A and B are shown apart, each in its own frame.
Chain A
Amino acid sequence: MSDTLTSGGANAGAGSSAGISPSTPTLTAEPRMSVRSVSKSYTSDRGVVKRVLASVSFNVAPEEFVAIVGPSGAGKTTLLRTIAGLMLPTSGEIFFDGDEVTGPPERLALVFQDYSRSLMPWMTIEKNVTLPLRRKKLSKDEQKRLAAEALSAVGLGDIGSHYPWQLSGGMQQRVAIARAIAYQPDALLMDEPFASVDAQTRSDLEDLILALKKQYGMTIVVVTHDIDEAVYMSDRVIVLSGSPTSVRQVVDVKLGGQRDQLVTKSLPEFVELRNTVLTAVRRPVGEPSP
């Protein structure tokens, strides 16, 4: 097994550190996030109760990268919003760094699916990025420095004085990510972050997130409906079942810390993991996992 991995890693310029990387987080540490038997129902204006999440449980270790996949409408956004403290679960608890989540945790940032609407069109890019920093007691210069740093980290140069609507969708998404990074959270939640950008931008952004994770040592949870993306980026893939949703299967992705679009995606392990996840996603409701 290590033969293929090592040769793959060498091609990627990663040397022999490919294999099962030492940077793979240990799951015995205290989890950064802990989702415990969370269920969530929506009640319509007419009092109709719709059960979306049914007893979802999982942990996320510090500096772990978890991808959540599931069919559209499964409640992935609902789950992320609940973890982010934007709404309370109907039952169950969520813990962040050992504290129960009752409102948005300070050390957590969320990148919304609808990123263009999460940028304020009346504010310049710089103002948008520094907006969350107002909460921290930083000088104006310090805020500007963090914004510039975050913008260059996401590959956007000197665009601080532009407005969001002067940028393409992919660039707006980078700004939303830069805002989250400038905030320097311990954990980053992202809701289908690359769903509406073209394929090239998409793989660029995937690698960007992986690089940023390394650089900043963040814990990352990404919701996606792209199975290749889930396997390529993550340490673990959580497959959600259809409604009401619970965790159907958890797939460990032991592909090492060094990923490369071409090399990693052509590894036999990658193909195998991808098929495992795909099978789990496709399995009809109620069928037991093998």
Chain B
Amino acid sequence: MTASTLSAAAEVAVGSAAPDGRHRSTARRASGSRKPTRLRRTIEIVLLIVLCLVAWQVAATSGVFGQNSWPTLGLFWSTAVETVPTQAYWVAIANTMISWAVGLAISVIIAIPVGLLIGSTAFLRRLTTPTVDFMRTIPSIILVPLAVLLYGSTNQMKIILIVFASVWPLLLQAVYGIRAVEPVARETFSAYGIRWRDRVRFLYLPTASPYLATGLRLAAVSSLLVAIGIEIIASAPGLGYQIGVKQANGLAASSFVYLITAAVIGLIITGVFTFIERRAMYWHPSRRGANS
């Protein structure tokens, strides 16, 4: 009986149940046949890359960006082969990534508990909403002079500014996440007298996790942007510093090697955190059955 009811259920079940799609990054599901779509996408991506390389070469040889400020593909490649094995290259990456990781970790440690607390208390929410709304509109860059004055051009200064930029998206997502808890689900937990610890583990965190994962992705990307931007502006050690200083000294090809490195790291971070976000949402109406 079960097998037949189950298969019959499959048609009925769609969309009949469970939390509504209030989550912000509503994922769209590829509809219809998959294989031709994937092949087409691959072709499109390859075409796009080829197009970019052609545009690069045209930009480099035409001289519209001034003499020697945009290296040709050949020069870029030979410089890259030279730069990548050097210690300076890896030290620059390490400096950027360490401040990125530490800044992000501190943001998570501060923002998530505070956000969950604010989100679950109506009084705190009313009290803090105006402040949070104001603070998150302040770009980190404005604080660079103050931070440099206090800490110099150090990783510490970078980390403080990263935290300042990343804490807000995380905090807001944590607040949204906790507010998304279904009242009926909460009552179910309390009707069965489920302990506080289990409520956090089986109700609050799972409900909030898609929101937290979105906040984490936003924070991870903005942390990198802030890290590199501040390295350029304030000459703090890292990829950004190398990009700026090489460009200023007329070493455009070397500058591009660091620039492209930063872009690749950005892509990897986005990819990894998008993956995490999707995993956190396996049960969510917008993603059901799309993975695992």
Contact = CB atoms under 8 A, between A and B. Distances in A.
Interface of A: 81, 84-86, 103-104, 106, 108-110, 112, 114, 116-123, 131-132, 134-135, 155-159, 162-169, 171-172, 183
B77 interface: no
28 contacts: A81-B187, A86-B191, A104-B190, A109-B192, A112-B184, A112-B187, A116-B17, A116-B18, A117-B184, A119-B17, A120-B185, A121-B19, A121-B283, A122-B282, A131-B192, A134-B194, A134-B198, A135-B195, A155-B1, A156-B2, A157-B1, A159-B6, A166-B10, A167-B6, A167-B13, A169-B12, A169-B16, A171-B5
A162 B206 CA distance: 17
Given A118-B185, A158-B2, A167 B9 contact: yes
Given A122-B283, A158-B2, A135 B187 contact: no
A130 to B, nearest CB: 11
A172 B17 contact: yes
Interface in B157-210: 182, 184-185, 187-188, 190-195, 198, 202-203, 206, 209
B16 A120 contact: no
B150 interface: no
A3 to B, nearest CB: 38
B202 A168 contact: no
Given A165-B283, A168-B5, 18 more contacts: A85-B191, A86-B190, A104-B191, A117-B182, A118-B185, A118-B188, A120-B203, A131-B194, A134-B194, A135-B192, A157-B1, A157-B2, A159-B6, A162-B6, A164-B17, A165-B17, A168-B8, A168-B16
A33 to B, nearest CB: 15
B126 interface: no
B198 to A, nearest CB: 6
Contacts of A135: 192-195
B31 to A, nearest CB: 18
A168 B13 contact: yes
Contacts of B285: 121, 165
Contacts of B19: 117, 121
B41 interface: no
Contacts of A134: 194-195, 198
Contact of B206 (A112, A114, A120): A120
B193 A104 contact: yes
A171 B9 contact: yes
Contacts of B195: 134-135
Contact of B283 (A108, A116, A132, A163): A163
A116 B191 contact: no
A109 B191 contact: yes
Interface of B: 1-2, 5-6, 8-10, 12-13, 16-19, 182, 184-185, 187-188, 190-195, 198, 202-203, 206, 209, 282-285, 288
B184 A132 contact: no
Nearest to B203: A120
A114 B8 contact: no
A118 to B, nearest CB: 4
A55 to B, nearest CB: 25
B13 A165 contact: yes
B18 A121 contact: yes
Contacts of A103: 193
A110 B187 CA distance: 10
B196 to A, nearest CB: 12
B192 A183 contact: yes
Q: Which of the listed residues A108, A122, A135, A166 has the most CB atoms from chain B within 10 Å of its own CB?
A: A122
Contacts of A86: 187, 190-191
Nearest to B10: A166
Given A135-B194, A159-B2, A165 B288 contact: yes
Given A112-B188, A164-B17, A132 B2 contact: no
Contacts of B16: 116, 168-169
A121 B18 CA distance: 7
B192 A168 contact: no
A163 B15 CA distance: 13
A163 B209 CA distance: 18
Contacts of B1: 155, 157
A103 B10 CA distance: 38
Contacts of B191: 84-86, 104, 108-110
B71 to A, nearest CB: 50
A52 B185 CA distance: 24
A201 B5 CA distance: 11
Contacts of A84: 191
Contact of B17 (A112, A162, A169): A169
B192 A122 contact: no
A135 B184 CA distance: 19
A86 B189 CA distance: 10
A120 B203 CA distance: 8
Contacts of B206: 120, 122-123
Contacts of A166: 6, 9-10, 13
A164 B9 contact: no
A104 B192 contact: yes
Q: Which of the listed residues B6, B203, B282, B288 has the most CB atoms from chain A within 10 Å of its own CB?
A: B6
